[in-house]
Structure 1
Amino acid sequence: MFVVTNIDDIVLLAIFFGQAAGRRRAEAHVVIGQYLGFGAILAASIIGALGAGLLPESAIPYLGLLPLLLGIRAAWNAWRYRNGAEDNGNQTDPGSGPGILTVAAVTLANGGDNIGVYVPVFTTAGGGGLIVFATVFLIMVAVWCLAGRLFASYPLVAKALSRWGHIVLPVVLIGIGLVILIEGGAFGLCSC
């Protein structure tokens, strides 16, 4: 789930690490900013999941509508911008490298839709599962930073991710939403 919801972050990280151009301090800013931005996403998702625990158990499967709708929106945007009409607006001063707050803000803005995916999954995971998800996700941020740094030195890989990530993301989001809806028995589908 982390990989799919953050596939576009790998491209952004590669861009940020490319701007850091091997300077350790600038690279540290990228890592710290990524952790701050993703930490905010994770905190909002956990708070949302705990709040969702106040819902009746029969309502929880319907939270699968969030990733389903986000997947449909992502598919719509992928189709709408299929000719490359969208600009990420990601501009930082290449001389100094990206700042911590710039990376954090871009990570948060780019990953804000992840909250809609994480909340329903976290809600159904229970306390122990929530701890496992949070731990794995925080470890994956480090892996993502390492991968972004590697991709910064391989422009063809970053270009491929940029090209196909917008197609993979909607498919997986829709899949996650359908799994939550079906496994939860929403709409009388299946109470497996």
Structure 2
Amino acid sequence: MTGIGPTSQHPQGPDDAAPGEVPPPAPTAVERANRMSAANMLRSLLPLVVICLLIVGWQAFRTETGDPVREVDPTTAVRVAQAEAGYTLLVPTGLDEGYRPTSARSDAGRGGAGAPVTLEIGYVTPSGRFAGFVVSDSPTAEPVAAVLGGATGEGQVDLGGEEWTRSTTVEGETALSRVADGVTVLVTGSAPDEELETVAGSVRPYAG
């Protein structure tokens, strides 16, 4: 009786492909070099991409958390108004740094010599609201008429040693005003009454 012994086995190599199968061609040296170059390029660019993303994110964070208030220096507008006004120019004086001027303009010089002069200064107050100051020797000046036209008087209040009229505008905001020698001084805005009163109480003749 003939026994069947173990047959010898060895790993199948490229030359041992099944009949009918064609083994894939081995990659050439150029192809291997190209693959390595692309991989190396990706690995080298990755840190740069990460750094760029971090810089962009940091700039966006600074923009979002930065102070959006842009302050202006009202000095030029005040000096132009003083030079042309035929009256003693009054302006808020000595306000603390929580009251930041964000706008200032005057119509001085537009109407020729002797024409009425109006000065406007806008502030962002400590509460982040708006307080507007206006002084004009024209009762029909647009910044004055737009606020006091249709306003309802609410009585008198003493601020900075002067008597002011408290009114409620048609927009529901408080307006503080006084008139002397044909000159109207006005403080109004969305700021709380206490902050509007602070601005009004600081009004003094401009000392230059």
User: Aligning the two structures, in what range does the TM-score lie when normalised by the shorter sequence?
Assistant: under 0.3
Considering Cα pairs closer than 8 Å and 6+ residues apart, tell me whether 1 or 2 has the greater RCO: 1
TM-score (normalizing by structure 1): 0.23
**Structure showing the higher helix proportion among its residues:** 1
TM-score (normalizing by structure 2): 0.22
